[in-house]
Structure 1
Amino acid sequence: HIAEHNDTDVAAVGNWETGRNLPKTENLLKTAAFLRVDPVALGKGEVVFLDDADNVADAEIVTDAAPLPGGPMDIELLGAAVGGDDGDFTFNGEVAGYVQRPPGIAHLRKVFALHVLSDSMVPRYEPGEMLYCGGRDAVPGDHVVIEMFPEENERNGKAFIKKLVKRTAAELVVEQYNPPKSLTFNRYAIKHVWRVIPLKELLGY
């Protein structure tokens, strides 16, 4: 009867019953309607009978699960170019596009995103990974994006992704993972320091 109601073959229903495979969402809802049980509970492996059979006939056929709530596509993805031997990358001064705002930073202003281009922070950040930067000022222990003032004959200053170790009036001490080493920057040569927002904060934890 279930096979006839769902317009599927008996063998397919037999596979559902024996657990060899699972029905698609559409077939799960049709089966729930036929048996007069709660489709949400059935999807979890539970059987909850519906007292009001009239509601069953109105069950919607849903083909895809609802997406997770996401924010607007209003975060600037800043363009960057691969740096030389002594820089992770350089900002090219352009906006490459816009990316979605994660729920944890729904109301945070002055946030931007960028793609990791170097392997100096592997395994923490892989090349191609997208980072969100901004929010509160960075403190030791935070990962940071550092942009230097351009040197002579340079249009854009070098930029780095590192872990902040220490900050004094005259210098910034950071570390990288690949290869492991410590670096010191002159504070007066630094144009900007942005904090990399951790994943758990982006998700609102």
Structure 2
Amino acid sequence: MDALQVSLTNADMKKNDKTSAVGAAIRSARKQKGLPMQAIADALKTSVVAVGNWERGENLPSTENLLKTAEFLGLDPAALGRGEVVFRDSTARNDAEIVTEPSAPNFGPMDVKILGSAVGGDDGDFSLNGEVTGLARRPPGIAHLTNVFAIHILSTSMVPRYDPGELLYCGGRTPVPGDHVLIEMYPDQGETNGKAYVKKLIRRTQAELICEQYNPAETVTFNAYSLKNIWRIIPQRELLGF
């Protein structure tokens, strides 16, 4: 490898490190304020998917959005640009916090397919279109799993467990009661894609899936004969190898 290639490689690594650090700092500050990603998206007039991408370290917010995010969260903008959480007011927990959150791992190959989804109508959380829209980083806990993919959740029905825009890894073993699951139904007549839902599986009979949702809190029942697919959502602790 020549000197130019080494220089470019080092520059890419530094950029990736900064992207992850800034994203983790935004997430940490947001969590400390008790805010959902939707609050940042509304304040900046952007999408929750964009905010989710920043928090996961997929890309950096623009300078304008970085400044607006810092203002909205009450952070020192220069510190945020370095990946540090420094609150401007006196309620800050730390004078300076360099964030290395495990929720945005920056290791493993970028080889997990992200499947496209669209906001649903009526009672549908969203729909899956089956198209690959990008690749996500493979966390260490699923290094050897082949039957996994990722989606962005687009609904608020599972807040506070999952915020809109969060990236969920799905697959692995067969779901059992107690697991959070991604459910895909067969399309209605005249429709191309079926409705999709993220819920917590309570029990399963031959005719029904009985699930729990958090927002609003209620029990939701699905017709098992209309079920196309059900995947387990892999918990963060397993993604990280715990």
Q: Indicate whether the TM-score tops 0.5.
A: yes
- Residue type of the alignment partner of 2:167: M
> Does 2:165 match 1:165?
no
| Equivalent residue for 1:148, pick from 185, 188, 205 | 185
* Matched position secondary structure for 1:71: coil
Mapped partners of 1:176, 1:78: distance in 2:
22
CA RMSD of aligned residues (A): 1.0
Deviations, residues 37-64 of structure 1 (Å, cap 9, x unaligned): xxxxxxxxxxxxxxxxxxxxxxxxxxxx
After the TM superposition, which segments of 4 or more aligned residues of structure 1 sit over 3 Å from their partners? none
> Does 2:158 match 1:121?
yes
TM-score normalized with structure 2 length? 0.56
| Equivalent residue for 2:139, pick from 73, 96, 102 | 102
TM-score normalized with structure 1 length? 0.66
Matching of residues 49-60 of structure 1 within 5 Å: none
Whether the 8 Å CA contact 2:150–2:168 is kept in 1: the answer is: yes
- Residue type of the alignment partner of 1:175: E
Q: 2:127 maps to what in 1?
A: 90
Which structure carries more helix by proportion?
Answer: 2
* CA displacement at 1:69 relative to structure 2: 6.7
* CA displacement at 1:85 relative to structure 2: 2.0
- Residue type of the alignment partner of 1:166: R
* CA displacement at 1:155 relative to structure 2: 0.4
Mapped partners of 1:198, 1:82: distance in 2:
23
- Residue type of the alignment partner of 1:138: P
- Residue type of the alignment partner of 2:230: V
* Matched position secondary structure for 1:172: strand
* CA displacement at 1:162 relative to structure 2: 0.2
Deviations, residues 126-173 of structure 1 (Å, cap 9, x unaligned): 001100000001111100000000010110000000000001111100
| Identical aligned residues as a percent | 65
> Does 2:231 match 1:203?
no
* CA displacement at 1:92 relative to structure 2: 1.5
When the two structures are aligned, how many residues end up with a matched partner?
A: 138
Mapped partners of 2:228, 2:124: distance in 1:
14
Q: Gaps (5+ residues) in structure 1?
A: 1-67
Deviations, residues 94-139 of structure 1 (Å, cap 9, x unaligned): 1000111000000011100000100000000000110000000111
